Amino acid sequence: MSFALERRLALDHHPRMDHFQYRGGVLHCEELALPELAQRFGTPLYVYSRQTLIDHYRRLSEAWTPVAPWLCFSVKSCSNLHILRIMRECGAAFDVVSGGEMARALEAGADPSRIVFAGVGKSDAEIRDALGAGIGFFNVESEAEMDNLASIAESMGRRAPAALRVNPDVDPKTHVYTTTGKRETKFGVDLERARRVFHDFARRPGLDLCAIHLHIGSPVNTVEPYIQSITKGLGLIEQLRREGFALRAINIGGGYGANYEDHQAPSALDYAAQVVPLLKGADLTVMLEPGRMITANAGILLTRTLYTKQSGDKHFLIVDGSMTELIRPALYGSFHFVWPVQPAGGAVPPQRSASLKMEGGMLVDVVGPVCESSDFLAKERWLPPVIRGDLLCIFTTGAYGFVMASQYNSRPRPAEVLVEGDQVRVIRRRETYDDLVALERAAG
């Protein structure tokens, strides 16, 4: 691809969302037809597109170039080692929230000094390990944690680089379960208390308290809440500087939206265009923690129709995927666009939209085999006629998909495969019944 074209792609406000496209009436991932992948690897199956990951990372990195930020890939959104390695090759830093995520990032070859460690409840063991590994920043959520971090660092003869998570009391206008920047949530400390924390702790020998961290929620599909929170954060930094504290960095968190529907979320450029001017010239290292913006559209869940069923007026498609593979619809009522992989009559979707209607189509709920009424993947959708055996694609499931999968109902977790052009490889094999009981057998 020429540099000019790549640049145009990167700077487009409505960039192509992914490399899952219909060709000749069949859905492809990059160069590969999805029915062949289903045949080869079975269903349910997570399929990731390497090029989509890279495109989204590049768009972010280009859009934010003027402040040369650390782009800390949010490991929680999609933590497969092979995905983390791609992120590392792209140049990402990493945002982790547990010892387990840190171990994954390190195994994927992350530079520890470019890992930030967040989370309201870090254990002593996690703190010690992270200090031992030499991670870049602790995002600290409370005075009690700050005190503990300082004590552990002092006992190890270390100085912990720390950012104080500040709760700016801004409404991100997203689901209540993923809202974090409002005063009443458990995250961070309020602005007034934040000043006191600097006064109380900045001189502790075990701490290099030199940054603030803001994260207001996820997904945040407008730019305004970021402007509000960053403006408040910069105000605090200015005040702290006046009071003699050396502030070197600001972490503005993650939560940038992805297109679950066409044009639903601002592009990387839309966010950056409004936020960069606030940060430029602030003499601060800027950090971001994007997850879903990179990974959501880079993965899909492929599932096969087991049965069709009518009950009362309702039509159901009972598929082999369920809330154990993808819990977002059950947990948050999240929308994921669903469409047959090889639609009858070649009816490829004109757009990915929640309000798509279809003449000659059927109005269905797409549900799984799990024994819970909350086990649905989609409700009241117009689809082309689907029969037993047909494959469906659940789009935009690369973020918070596999990572939230469970074995409930003793369902082995699905395989994950990664497509690169016309090549595909398994990046996590399907679990077996033996896997389900291995740790119990080991217990004797």
Number of residues that bind ligand LLP (CB under 6 A): 20
Which residue's entry shows tokens 């047959």?
340
* Residue from 52, 77, 229, 303 binding ligand LLP (CB under 6 A): 77
Q: Which is nearer to ligand LLP, 178 or 239 (CB)?
A: 178
Q: Which of 253, 343, 349, 368 binds ligand LLP (CB under 6 A)?
A: 253
**Which of the stretches 247-255, 274-282, 371-379, 426-434 binds ligand LLP when contact is defined by CB under 6 A?**
247-255
Q: Measured from the CB of residue 397, what is the shortest distance to ligand LLP in angstroms?
A: 10
Tell me the window of 16-24, 251-259, 274-282, 369-377 that interacts with ligand LLP (CB under 6 A).
Answer: 251-259
- Would you say 367 or 399 has its CB closer to ligand LLP? 399
Q: Does 95 bind ligand LLP (CB under 6 A)?
A: yes
The CB-nearest residue to ligand LLP is: 291
Output the six-digit token pair for 216.
């207001």
Is residue 289 within the footprint of ligand LLP (CB under 6 A)?
Answer: yes
283: tokens are 């003499």
Choice from 46, 117, 376, 400 touching ligand LLP (CB under 6 A): 400
* Contact flag: residue 292 with ligand LLP (CB under 6 A): yes
The minimum distance between CB 12 and ligand LLP, in angstroms, equals 21
Distance from C-alpha of 364 to C-alpha of 251, rounded to nearest angstrom:
43
Nearer to ligand LLP, 168 or 254 (CB): 254
Closer by beta carbon to ligand LLP, 206 or else 233: 233
Which is nearer to ligand LLP, 117 or 201 (by Cβ)?
117
- Whole-number minimum distance, CB 257 to ligand LLP, in Å? 8
**With respect to ligand LLP, which residue has the nearer C-beta, 95 or 375?**
95
Q: Which of residues 177-196 bind ligand LLP (CB under 6 A)?
A: 178
Site string for ligand LLP, 17-56 (x = CB under 6 A): ----------------------------------------
Distances (CA, A) of 190 to 169, 181, 182, 201: 7, 10, 9, 16
Compute the Cα dihedral for 329, 334, 340, 344 and give only its sign: positive
Closest approach of Cβ 435 to ligand LLP, in Å?
A: 24
Site for ligand LLP in 305-344 (CB under 6 A): 328
State the pairing for strand pair 93-96/376-383. unpaired
Q: Cβ 141 to ligand LLP, closest distance in Å?
A: 10
Catalytic, 72? Answer no
Q: Active-site residue among 72, 90, 371, 393?
A: 371
Residue of 43, 52, 61, 74 interacting with ligand LLP (CB under 6 A): 74
d(CA 138, CA 105): 15
Closest CB 367 distance from ligand LLP, rounded Å: 19
- Please report, as residue ranges, which positions from 104 to 143 form the binding site for ligand LLP (by CB under 6 A): 118
Q: Using the rule CB under 6 A, is 405 a contact of ligand LLP?
A: no
Region 256-275 residues binding ligand LLP, contact defined as CB under 6 A: 256
- The answer to whether residue 215 forms part of the interface with ligand LLP (CB under 6 A) is yes
Per residue, the 3-state secondary structure of the chain, as one string, reads CCHHHHHHHHHCCCCCCCCEEEECCEEEECCEEHHHHHHHHCCCEEEEEHHHHHHHHHHHHHHCHHHCCEEEEEHHHCCCHHHHHHHHHHCCEEEECCHHHHHHHHHCCCCHHHEEECCCCCCHHHHHHHHHHCCCEEEECCHHHHHHHHHHHHHCCCCEEEEEEEECCCCCCCCHHHECCCCCCCCCEEHHHHHHHHHHHCCCCCEEEEEEECCCECCECCCHHHHHHHHHHHHHHHHHHHCCCCCCEEECCCCECCCCCCCCCCCHHHHHHHHHHHHCCCCCEEEECCCHHHHHHHEEEEEEEEEEEEECCEEEEEECCCCCCCCHHHHHCCCCCEEECCCHHHCCCCCCCCCCCCCCCEEEEEECCCCCCCCEEEEEEEECCCCCCCEEEECCCCCCCHHHCCCHHHCCCCEEEEEECCEEEEEECCCCHHHHHHHHHHCC
Residues labelled catalytic: 371
Task: List residues binding ligand LLP (CB under 6 A).
Answer: 74, 77, 95, 118, 178, 215, 218-219, 253-256, 289-293, 328, 399-400
